[in-house]
Amino acid sequence: MSLLEVRELSKTFEVRGRGFGRGVGQLRAVDGVSFDIDAGETLGLVGESGCGKSTLGRAVVRLLEPSGGVVRIGGVAHESDDPRLRRLAQIVFQDPYTSLPPKMRIGRVIAEPLRIHGIVAEGEVSDRVERLMLDVGLKADLAGAYPHELSGGQRQRVGIARALAVEPELIVADEAVSALDVSVQAQILNLLRDLQSRYGIAYLFISHDLGVVRYMSHRIAVMYLGRIVELGPSAEVVKDPLHPYTRGLLASVPTLHTGRPTVRIQAEPPNPVDPPTGCSFHPRCPIARDVCAQDSPPLTEWKSGHWAACHFALDDHGVQSNQNDPGDQS
Amino acid sequence: MTDVLGQLESAPAGSPRPVGWRMLAASPLTMVGLLGVIGILVAALFAPALAPADPGAQDLTNILAPPFWDEDGSSAALLGTDGLGRDVLSRLLYGARNSLVISVAAMLLGASVGLATGLFAGFFGGRVDSVIMRLGDVQLAFPFILLAIAVLGVVPNRSAWHLIIVLGIPGWIIYARVVRSRVLAEKEKDYVAAARAIGASKWRRLFRYVVPSVWQVVPVIALLDVGFLIIMESTLSFLGLGLPPPAATWGGILAEGRRNMVVSTWLPILPGLAIVATVLSINLLGDGIASVFDTNVVRGGFRRIIPKGAGQPALQPADQALLDVRDLGVTFPTRAGSIRAITGVSFDMAHGETLGVVGESGSGKSVTGSAIIQLIDPPGRISSGEIWVEGEDVTRVNDRRMRQLRGRSIGMIFQNPAASLNPVLSVGYQLREGLRSVGVPRREVVSTVRRILTTVGIPDPDRVVRQYPFQLSGGMNQRVMIAMALAARPQLLIADEPTTALDTTTQAQILTELVELTDQQDISLLLITHDIALVSEYADRVLVLYAGKVCEIGPVESVISSPAHPYTKALLESVPRVDATGDRLEPIPGELPDPSIVRTGCPFAPRCRDVMELCHSVDPMLTAIEQGHHAACHLWSEVEVVGS
A323 falls in which pLDDT band (50, 70, 90)?
very low
User: Using 50, 70 and 90 to split pLDDT, how confident is the model at A326?
Assistant: very low
Determine the pLDDT at residue A218. Answer: 96
pLDDT at B540 over 60: yes
- Count helices and strands in chain B by DSSP H and E runs: 27, 12
Which pLDDT value is given to residue B310? 47
User: In terms of DSSP bridges, do strands B354-358 and B524-529 run parallel, antiparallel, or are they unpaired?
Assistant: parallel
Given CB atoms, is B616 within the 8 Å cutoff of chain A? no
Q: Which of B384, B131, B98, B144 is nearest to B242 (CA)?
A: B98
| Mean pLDDT, rounded, of chain B | 86
Nearest to B588 among A86, A152, A183 (CB): A183
Q: What whole-number distance in Å separates Cα of residue B553 and Cα of residue B541?
A: 7
Pairing outcome for strands B541-546 and B622-626 = unpaired
| Band of pLDDT at residue A122, cut at 50, 70 and 90 | very high
Residues 54-113 on A with a CB inside 8 Å of B are: 58, 61, 63, 81, 83, 86-87, 90-91, 93-95, 97-104, 112-113
Q: Which residue of A148, A210, A261 is in closest CB contact with B508?
A: A261
Q: What is the pLDDT of residues B7-41, one digit of tens each?
A: 333 333 333 444 456 666 677 888 999 999 999 99
Check if B213 contacts A (Cβ < 8 Å): yes
In this prediction, residue B338 carries a pLDDT of 81
Q: Looking at chain B from residue 84 to 143, which residues have their Cβ under 8 Å from any Cβ of chain A?
A: none
Q: Do A182 and B530 touch (CB under 8 A)?
A: yes
The CA distance from B631 to B636, in Å, is 8
pLDDT at site B16: 40
In the predicted model, what is the mean pLDDT of chain A? 89
* Among candidate residues B349, B279, B293, the one with its CA nearest the CA of residue B321: B349
| Per-residue model confidence (pLDDT) at position A221 | 98
| CA angle at A181 for the pair B592 and B505, rounded to the nearest 5° | 160
Contact A183 B587 (CB under 8 A): yes
Closest CA to B96 of B237, B275, B266, B273: B275
pLDDT over 90 at B487, yes or no: no
Chain B residues lying within 8 Å of A112, measured CB to CB: 195, 198, 200, 208
Q: Residue B59: its pLDDT value, please?
A: 80
A301 or A21: which leads in pLDDT: A301
List chain A residues with CB under 8 Å of B529: none
Residues from chain B contacting residue A269 (CB–CB below 8 Å): 503
Output the pLDDT for position B339.
Answer: 86
Beta strand residue intervals within A188-304, DSSP E:
202-207, 219-224, 227-233, 300-303
Report the alpha-carbon distance of residue B366 to residue B61 in Å, rounded.
82
> Is A98 in contact with B190 (Cβ distance < 8 A)?
yes
Residue A261: pLDDT band with limits 50, 70, 90: low
User: Residue A224 pLDDT more than 80?
Assistant: yes
Q: Smallest CA–CA separation between A63 and chain B, in Å? A: 7
Residue A244 pLDDT exceeds 90: yes
Decide if pLDDT at B560 tops 60.
yes
Q: What is the mean pLDDT of residues A138-161?
A: 94
pLDDT tens digit string along B101-119?
999 999 999 999 999 999 9
Closest-approach residue (CA) in chain A for B507: A252
Separation of alpha carbons B477 and B3, rounded Å: 23
Residue of A nearest to B560 (CA): A256
Total residue count of chain A as it appears in this document: 330
In this complex, is the C-beta atom of B571 within 8 Å of any C-beta atom belonging to chain A?
A: yes
Locate the DSSP E strands across A151-298: 170-174, 202-207, 219-224, 227-233
> How far are the Cα atoms of B106, B156, B232, B249, B378 from residue B246, in angstroms, in the given order?
22, 16, 20, 9, 60
Is A244 in CB contact (< 8 Å) with chain B? Answer: no
Q: Is B123 helix (H, G, I), strand (E, B) or coil?
A: helix
pLDDT at B416: 84
pLDDT by residue (tens digit) across A270-296? 888 888 999 999 999 989 999 999 999
φ/ψ of residue B30, rounded to 5: -65, -40
The pLDDT score that the predictor gives to residue B2 is 38
- Mutation target to probe the A interface, by most A beta carbons within 10 A, among B209, B504, B541 is B504
CB contact under 8 A, B194 and A159: yes
Least Cα separation, residue B299 to chain A (angstroms): 23
The answer to whether B267 and B88 have CB atoms below 8 angstroms apart is yes
Q: Is the pLDDT of residue B265 over 90?
A: no
Inform me whether the pLDDT recorded for B139 exceeds 60: yes
| Percentage, residues of chain B above pLDDT 90 | 47
Q: Which residues of A touch B216 (CB under 8 A)?
A: none
pLDDT band with cut points at 50, 70 and 90 for residue A327:
very low
Q: What is the mean pLDDT of residues B385-409?
A: 89
ipTM, two decimals: 0.89
Residue A164 in contact with partner chain B when CB distance is under 8 A: no
The minimal CB distance from B196 to the residues A63, A208, A248 is found for: A63
Residue B220 pLDDT class (50, 70, 90 cuts): confident
d(CA B599, CA B576): 31
- Res. B364: pLDDT tops 90: yes
Q: Which residues contact A24 (CB under 8 A, 6 or more apart)?
A: A14, A15, A16, A17
How high is the pLDDT of residue B598?
80
Choice between B437 and B113, residue whose per-residue pLDDT is larger? B113
Under the banding of pLDDT at 50, 70 and 90, the label for residue B68 is confident
C-beta atoms of B576 and A159 within 8 A: no
pLDDT for A324: 41
Tell me the C-alpha to C-alpha distance, in Å, between residue B555 and each of A39, A253, B20, B522, B538.
47, 22, 50, 19, 12
The 10s digit of each residue's pLDDT in B178-198 is: 999 999 999 999 999 999 999
Q: What is the mean pLDDT of residues B477-502?
A: 90
Task: Determine the Cα–Cα distance for residues B363 and B545; give it in Å rounded to an integer.
Answer: 5
Starting at the edge strand found earlier in the chain, the sheet holding B381-389 runs B337-349, B323-334, B381-389, B392-393
Per residue in B230-246, pLDDT (tens digit) is 999 999 999 888 888 78
* Residue pairs between chains A and B whose CB atoms are closer than 8 Å: 219
Whether A58 sits inside 8 A of B193 (CB atoms) is yes
Select from B584, B623, B591 the least CA-distant residue to B606. B591
Does any CB of chain B come closer than 8 Å to the CB of residue A259? yes
Residue A196: exposed, middle, or buried by beta-carbon count in 10 A (0-12, 13-18, 19+)? middle
Which pLDDT belongs to residue B5? 36
pLDDT at position B491 is 92
Q: pLDDT for B613-630, tens place per residue?
A: 999 999 999 999 998 999
Strands B541-546, B524-529: pairing kind = unpaired
User: Hey, are the CB atoms on B508 and A263 less than 8 Å from each other?
Assistant: yes
pLDDT of residue B282: 93
**What integer pLDDT is reported at residue B65 of this predicted model?**
80
Share of chain A above pLDDT 70, in %: 91
Segment A174-189 mean pLDDT: 92
Of residues B10, B11, B538, nearest to A260 (C-beta)? B538
Inter-chain CB proximity A98 and B189 less than 8 Å: yes
Residues sharing a CB contact under 8 Å with residue B92, sequence separation 6 or more, in sequence order: B79, B248, B250, B253, B270, B271, B274
